[in-house]
Structure 1
Amino acid sequence: MNKRSSSATRTNGPARSHAGRATRPPGREFQAAAWLARHPGFVTAPLVGLGLTLVLGPLVTSAVLAALVLGAFVWGRAHPASFDRFAAPLLRATWRRWTVYRGRCWTQLMSDCGLTREHRHSGEQLVPRVLRVRSSSSTIDTVYVRMVRGQDVAFWQERASVLYEALIAHRVAITRHRPGVVAVVIEWELPFTRTIPAPDIPETTEDVDLGAVEIGDNERGEPFTAPLVGGHRLVAGASGSGKGSILWSTLRGVGPCLRDGVVRVWMVDLKGGVETEQGAPLFHRYATTMAEALELLTEFRDAMRDRQDDMREQNIRAATPSTATPVELLVIDEMAMLTAYGDRSSVREALRLLAEVMTQGRASLFAVHGYLQEPSKDVVDVRELFTQRICLGVTAASHVDMVLGEGARERGALADEIPGDERHAGIGFVIDKGSRLPVRFRAAFTTDDDITELVTRCAPQDADVIDMPDGGPDEAPDSTEPSERGAA
Structure 2
Amino acid sequence: MLWGIDLKGGMELGPWAPCLARLATTPAEAETMLRDAVRVLEARARAMAESSSRLWIPTESTPALVIVVDEYAELAEQSPAAVEYADSIARRGRAVAETLLAATQRPTQQAMGRGAIRSQMDVRVCLRVRERRDTDLILGQGMVAAGWHAHDLDAPGKFLVSAEGFNHPRRARAYLVTDDDVRATVERYATDRPDLDCLSADALAEEAYDGVIVDETDPGSVLWAALNEAPEHGLSVPELMRMTGMRRTWIYDRLQAHATQVRRGRWRMPRDESDG
Q: TM-score range by the shorter chain?
A: 0.5 to 0.7
- Whether the aligned pair in 2 keeps the contact of 1:295 and 1:473 (CA below 8 Å) is no
Higher mean Cα deviation, 322-331 or 288-297?
322-331
- Check the 8 A contact 1:317/1:363 in 2, yes or no: yes
Q: Distance in 2 between matches of 1:451 and 1:330?
A: 19
**1:442 positional shift:** 0.8
Matched to 2:39, the amino acid is D
Aligned twin of 2:178: 447
Does residue 324 in structure 1 map to residue 61 in structure 2?
yes
Show the counterpart of 1:486: 233
Residues 265 and 329 of structure 1 are in contact (CA less than 8 Å); yes or no, is this contact kept in structure 2? yes
CA distance in 2, matches of 1:303, 1:350: 15
Supply the distance in 2 between the matched residues of 1:276 and 1:456 (Cα, whole angstroms). Answer: 15
Q: For residue 286 of structure 1, give the secondary structure of its aligned residue in structure 2.
A: strand
Of 7, 13, 16, 1:279 maps to 16
Q: CA deviation at 1:486?
A: 3.3
Contiguous gaps of at least 5 residues in structure 2 = 197-206, 213-218, 235-276
Name the counterpart of 1:308.
45
Q: 1:66-112 deviations in whole A, cap 9, x for unaligned? A: xxxxxxxxxxxxxxxxxxxxxxxxxxxxxxxxxxxxxxxxxxxxxxx
Pair 434,414 (structure 1): closer, same or farther in 2 beyond 3 Å: same
Aligned match of 1:411: 146
From 448, 453, 456, give the equivalent of 2:187. 456
What amino acid is the match of 1:305? E
Higher Cα Rg, which structure = 1
Taking every aligned residue pair, what percent have the same amino acid on both sides?
A: 30
Gaps of 5+ in 1: 1-263, 466-471
C-alpha root-mean-square deviation of aligned residues, in Å?
Answer: 2.8
C-alpha deviations, 1:41-76, integer Å up to 9, x for none?
xxxxxxxxxxxxxxxxxxxxxxxxxxxxxxxxxxxx
TM-score scaled by length of structure 2: 0.68
Distance 2:70 2:185 in 1: 19
Tell me which residue corresponds to 2:270.
none
Output the amino acid matched with 1:408: M
Describe the shift of the 1:296–1:359 C-alpha distance in structure 2 as closer, same or farther (beyond 3 A). same
The one-letter amino acid paired with 2:7 is L
Whole-angstrom distance in 2 between the partners of 1:268 and 1:485? 20
Number of the residue aligned with 1:353? 85
Note the C-alpha offset of 1:265: 0.5
Residues 473, 402 of structure 1: CA spacing in aligned structure 2 closer, same or farther, 3 A cutoff?
farther
Instruction: Give the letter aligned to residue 446 of structure 1.
Output: V
**CA gap 1:425/1:473 in 2 versus in 1, 3 angstroms:** farther
Q: Tell me the distance in 1 between the aligned counterparts of 2:28 and 2:232.
A: 18
More displaced, 363-372 or 378-387?
378-387
Within 5 A, what are the aligned runs for 1:184-333?
Answer: 264-333=1-70
Residues 1:434 and 1:268: Cα distance change in structure 2 (over 3 Å):
closer
How far residue 301 of structure 1 moved from its aligned partner, in angstroms, is 0.8
Mapped to 2, the partners of 1:478 and 1:392 lie a distance apart of 45
C-alpha distance in 2, partners of 1:283/1:374? 25
Q: State the Cα distance separating 1:436 from its structure 2 match.
A: 3.0
Name which of 136, 148, 170 aligns with 1:401.
136
State how far apart, in whole Å, the 2-side matches of 1:432 and 1:332 are: 20
What TM-score do you get using the length of structure 1 for normalisation?
0.40
Q: Aligned equivalents of 1:310 and 1:478: distance in 2?
A: 30
CA contact (8 A) 1:394 1:400 kept: yes
Equivalent residue letter for 1:334: E
